[in-house]
Structure 1
Amino acid sequence: MAFIILIISKLSKSYTNTIAFKIEKINVPDEKVILNNSDSILNITLNTHGFKWLDYYFKSPKITIDFSEDVTLGHSKFIWTKANTRLFSNTEFTKQVKIINIYPDSLFFNFDVNSVKKIPVKLRENISFSPGFDSFDGFTITPDSIKIIGPKHVIDTIGHIETEAVILKGVKTDIHETIKLDLPIKNDNIRFSSKSVDLSASVERFTEGVMKIPITIVNVPKELKIKYFPKEVTITFYTSLDHFKMVKPMDFKIICDYNMLNTESSFFIAELVKTSKYVKSVKINNQHIEFIIL
């Protein structure tokens, strides 16, 4: 009991000491970004009783600076001075707290004007489908780009934003996922219009089809005649069951270009230059076309 009485007696007395207050910035204009002073402090010498000092030591003391009232606008910087009397009536201090001194007597907050830049979102995925299933239109990201707001010299270094990794195995139904963006390390100077995107894909049953397509020889000099074999090649295409019957031979065009020959060539290389909008992929089964010049 004597010890408790002693402690209470000590804490009831007034003491003078200096303590570091962190700066909390509020009401910063949207078009301005504070570039530094994220760790600014005010060293304030106070006189108050011991109980109040306990609050300061056990809690991180802060001073709120209202940029709509407490600062003046200079050339590329905001200026706060201790002459601002709002500080002395601030809610951080009660009548039991006497302010003896404030150091430094001025704070400077350099700022930059916000720039806005639209950057694409790139999907980072490892998605595989069950056999016989696929997505014809592929993956859709909504939105496919976001706005980044911040100092020009900062956002100019950011060319795109990736999503967090999406891993899906054995997919056989439509995909609808909300994916977080892999944003850069937290930076109070920059903001993003979105922190996530929606990923979607229509998943269908797929099949393979086979067709024979005639070959066209192009860029042959007028004085030459060329015979070639075979006259047509077989292609294998990959499409959804719904699109299978819509795929026609006339949708494809395969050529052999005479200009692509060199003096040692004994065959053409067949090239697919036109394909059906209803197929996802096409493969020419035999690209070597033999020829003779008459």
Structure 2
Amino acid sequence: MALITLNRIERRRMTVFLSCLITAVLIWLVIALSGRYKYTVDTKINYTDPPESKAFHPLQDDSVSLEIEGTGWQLLFSRLRLNPQSVNVSLRSLNSRNYIVFSGQLNDLNSQFESSQRVISVSPDTLFFDFSKRTVKKVPVKLEYNLTFKKNYGISGPPKLNPSYVTVNGAAEDLRKITYWPTTILNLQNVSTDLSVKVGFAPAKANNIDIYPQSVKAEIPIDRFTEKIIEVPLKVLNGKGRDVKLLPEKVKITILAALSNYPLLDRDSLVATVDLAGWSEKGYTQLPVVLSKIPKFCTLVKTEPQVVDFFIRK
């Protein structure tokens, strides 16, 4: 295939032609995208001004489609340009009826958007609700945390929460499913001292549920951990009156314990067992050691030995 060779003048003409073409396309694109267009965007609903004496249940999804008039640039980047990403919808009219109509709230909706964007219509235009009497329930608070510690440090005791219970207000049907209320996740790194922090609560999954108070004070004891070796006598399970001799009769348990708890730990803090059912039912010739009790906030490092020999006296 023959190649077309251009001289210097022809190359210059070609460059000028391409530059003009690109400039014309860019000008046309700017003019076209500067025009006004209509486009549809799906968005989530945040309900505001709920009725005080009744709990509401939306009978449709918590999202709607907005028909918006905006520039071509906004149409091109509609998923990114929609601001805000959700809309607030007033429920004041539910005090006298069981539905709301968006066409009566267009001015309120438009006040939430950029001035260059205008909501023309909403689909569906009417949202319907079911009602039930509001009830109150107290549930325990669950602290959610994701902590990393400096070397040899960790949580040395149960966190203390104030308050330890939260008051939940909403429909009885929704409250029946709630057994606790989680906090937002407390994320901290390189922790080495006691923590005393205020943590907010995770948002409600339903729009018609309120919680009080809005935050909880969490106190988490942090301490340095060190190893401690404790010799523990073995207990025989399922011996059924047999005279069992274990070799050895004690095991050494190595645990990581907080320095503040170190003096409190002794052999009564741990329980190590062997199960003779392993011999009678499965034919084991050695019995594995199981640590059935260990203090909270202690970590097992190792058990020596992990299996023991035995014989049964007749």
Q: Cα distance, 1:165 vs. partner?
A: 2.1
Task: Provide the rounded CA distance (Å) in 1 between the counterparts of 2:257 and 2:251.
Answer: 19
Q: Cα distance, 1:233 vs. partner?
A: 0.9
TM-score w.r.t. the length of structure 2 is 0.54
Q: Match for 1:137 among 157, 165, 181? A: 157
Q: Cα distance, 1:235 vs. partner?
A: 0.3
Distance change in 2, residues 1:183/1:252 (3 Å): same
Say whether the 8 Å CA contact 2:278–2:284 is kept in structure 1: no
Q: Cα distance, 1:171 vs. partner?
A: 0.2
Q: Cα distance, 1:273 vs. partner?
A: 4.0
Say whether the 8 Å CA contact 1:234–1:286 is kept in structure 2: yes
**What is the aligned partner in structure 1 of residue 134 from structure 2?**
114
SS of the aligned residue for 1:183 comes to coil
SS of the aligned residue for 2:282 comes to coil
Distance change in 2, residues 1:286/1:27 (3 Å): closer
Give the alignment of 1:1-294 within 5 angstroms.
Answer: 30-33=52-55, 111-184=131-204, 187=207, 189-222=208-241, 224-261=242-279, 262-275=281-294, 280-282=298-300, 283-294=302-313
Task: Provide the rounded CA distance (Å) in 1 between the counterparts of 2:289 and 2:58.
Answer: 62
Matching residue's letter, 1:226: V
Provide structure 2 residue ranges, at least 5 long, that are not aligned to the other structure: 1-47, 60-89, 99-127
SS of the aligned residue for 2:239 comes to coil
Q: Cα distance, 1:134 vs. partner?
A: 1.9
TM-score w.r.t. the length of structure 1 is 0.57
Say whether the 8 Å CA contact 1:183–1:195 is kept in structure 2: no
Matching residue's letter, 2:290: E
**% identical equivalent positions:** 23
Distance change in 2, residues 1:168/1:65 (3 Å): closer
Task: Provide the rounded CA distance (Å) in 2 between the counterparts of 1:173 and 1:240.
Answer: 13
Q: Cα distance, 1:241 vs. partner?
A: 1.7
Task: Provide the rounded CA distance (Å) in 2 between the counterparts of 1:158 and 1:218.
Answer: 40
Matching residue's letter, 1:175: L
Task: Provide the rounded CA distance (Å) in 2 between the counterparts of 1:36 and 1:216.
Answer: 59
**Size of the alignment, in residue pairs?**
208
Task: Provide the rounded CA distance (Å) in 2 between the counterparts of 1:36 and 1:274.
Answer: 49
Say whether the 8 Å CA contact 2:204–2:210 is kept in structure 1: no
| Higher percent of residues as helix | 2
Aligned-CA RMSD value: 3.7
Q: Cα distance, 1:217 vs. partner?
A: 2.6
